[in-house]
Amino acid sequence: MADIFSNVLEIRWEMVLMWVIGGVLIWLAIAKDMEPTLLLPMGFGAILANLPTSGAITQVINGKTEEGVLDVLFNAGIANELFPLLLFIGIGAMIDFGPLLSNPKMLLFGAAAQFGIFFTFALAALLGFDLKDAASIGIIGAADGPTSIFVANYFNSNYIGAIIVAAYSYMALVPIIQPPVIRLFTTKKERLIRMPYEQKEVSATVRILFPIVTTMIVGILAPRSVALVGFLMFGNLLRECKVLRILSESAQKELANLVTILLGITIASKMRYDLFVKVDTLVIILLGLVAFVFDTIGGVLFAKLLNLFVKKKINPMVGAAGISAFPMSSRVVHKMGLKEDPTNFLLMHAAGANVAGQIASVVAGGVMIALVEKLI
Amino acid sequence: MNIHFDIDNFLKTPRVVLFGMLGVFIALTIIYLAILLLSKIFKNKKKKDSGATEE
């Protein structure tokens, strides 16, 4: 009898706290519909990994190492960056780059809205995080889960659990985070700027060549991110070639769903109480918010800067859609535009900036790896 | 890790911030130019074709 209950004595308050955190993630996923595909597996995994002497994670019992399935999955799918890359095939197959191809200057907003990544990197370094961890924390601002996982894992950050929780939570919170920041940095007059959308037909050849050319350009300029951008663009090529409809649909549905299930629960192996219950975790979650806020500021201010030089004025809210949280950010900007003027439709412009952010965040991840690697 | 202000660490970052943003802008500007070029070379023929048929 004592043997059966001996495990109960192994329960620590930090474990209980992790069960609560797991429960909150599951509640957010189910009750609030916040990124449920990831937060639910992560929440359940957090509970699974924090049971006393949990067999789901690697334990040393009586001097013998027993490998846990979550660690096996982590080594098989995240430590070698496989899961985020496979997920990118699915994401690439889901994205329609049409709005961007018909208005390619939106790419510049994608670039500007990565400012939060680098600002937060500097702030994290100021707060004493070593440069590898600071880069991994900054990349929360990519607003793009797979890129965050890729970079944090590349730098072998101990904070990967907190980074992923922050990245996915803030992506879901974009409709709450962005509007007050946008309002703070724009005037009512600016928010009322109309941007008529001229729909340009994009030829099938351009749609097919775009993923190939983008992969080559990014691969040459930022070789560290070629795997990420390559898999994203491969997925998009499956979609646009129109002869692999079944593969494209499989990538969008079965592949993306399977990888998401495994990714979410595997991340939980890094949500063990000994790695997670720290002041650092709270600081990282706050820094993640800073990253999203400064991404938004970067996009808005860049649009305002462009307006000093261009004849056709740009609604600065569109700049905020340059963060990669797709499609939440473009929806937020569209709704804000309609609120100011019910006849001002910004959706297509915002969608263009938003998919540009997807490419820009991957490039930013590669650039960050290349630059920080030289410093360490 | 103890959270503390680390000025030496911070002073290493401006180069990354500057070149990082510059790198992202350069890469996306090149993609922008590539899209413009591709769109110019491969204009949508569908409209022209349908126009020709109508004529």
Asked if pLDDT for residue A299 goes beyond 90, the answer is yes
pLDDT of B52: 45
Q: DSSP per residue over A153-172, as a string?
A: HHTT-TTHHHHHHHHHHHHH
Question: pLDDT band at A8, cuts 50/70/90?
Answer: confident
Token digits of residue A242: 């129109």
Q: Span A294-318, mean pLDDT? A: 95
Instruction: Determine, for residues A125 and B9 on separate chains, whether the beta-carbon distance falls below 8 Å.
Output: yes
CA distance B48 to chain A (A): 12
pTM reported for the whole predicted model: 0.86
Angstrom distance (rounded) from CA A122 to CA A129:
10
Residue A326 binned pLDDT confidence (cut-offs 50, 70, 90): confident
Which chain B residues contact residue A217 at CB under 8 A? 27, 30-31, 34
More confident residue, A268 or B39: B39
Nearest CA in chain B to A104: B32
Q: What is the dihedral of CA A178, A184, A186, A189, to 10 degrees?
A: 110
Query: What is the percent of chain A with per-residue pLDDT over 90, rounded to a whole number?
Result: 64
pLDDT for the residue A92: 94
pLDDT of residue A110: 95
What per-residue confidence (pLDDT) applies to B53?
A: 45
Question: Which chain A residues have a beta carbon less than 8 Å from that of B20?
Answer: 117-118, 121, 364, 367-368, 371
Q: Which of A127, A136, A277 is the best mutation test for B, with the most CBs of B within 10 A?
A: A127
Q: A27: which residues sit within 8 A by CB, 6+ positions away?
A: A43
B-chain residues within 8 Å CB-CB of A233?
Answer: none
**Gap between the Cα atoms of B9 and A126, Å rounded:** 6
**CB–CB contact B2 A128 (8 Å):** yes
Q: Supply the pLDDT for residue A223.
A: 86
How far out from the chain centre does Cα A308 lie? 31
Chain B from 1 to 55: CB within 8 A of any A CB: 1-7, 9-10, 12-17, 19-21, 23-32, 34-36, 38-39, 42-47
Predicted confidence (pLDDT) per residue in A78-104, tens digit: 888 899 899 999 999 999 999 899 999
Chain A residues lying within 8 Å of B5, measured CB to CB = 126-128
Nearest of A267, A253, A210 to residue A83 by alpha carbon: A267
DSSP letter string over A308-369? TT-SS---THHHHTTSS-TTHHHHHHHHHHHHH-TT---HHHHHHHHHHHHHHHHHHHHHHH
CA dihedral A106, A111, A115, A117 (to 10 degrees): 120
Strands (DSSP E) along A45-98, which ranges? Answer: 59-61, 64-66
* Residue A60 DSSP symbol: E
The mean of the pLDDT values for chain A is 91
Task: List for chain B the helix, strand, coil content (%; round to 5).
Answer: 80, 0, 20
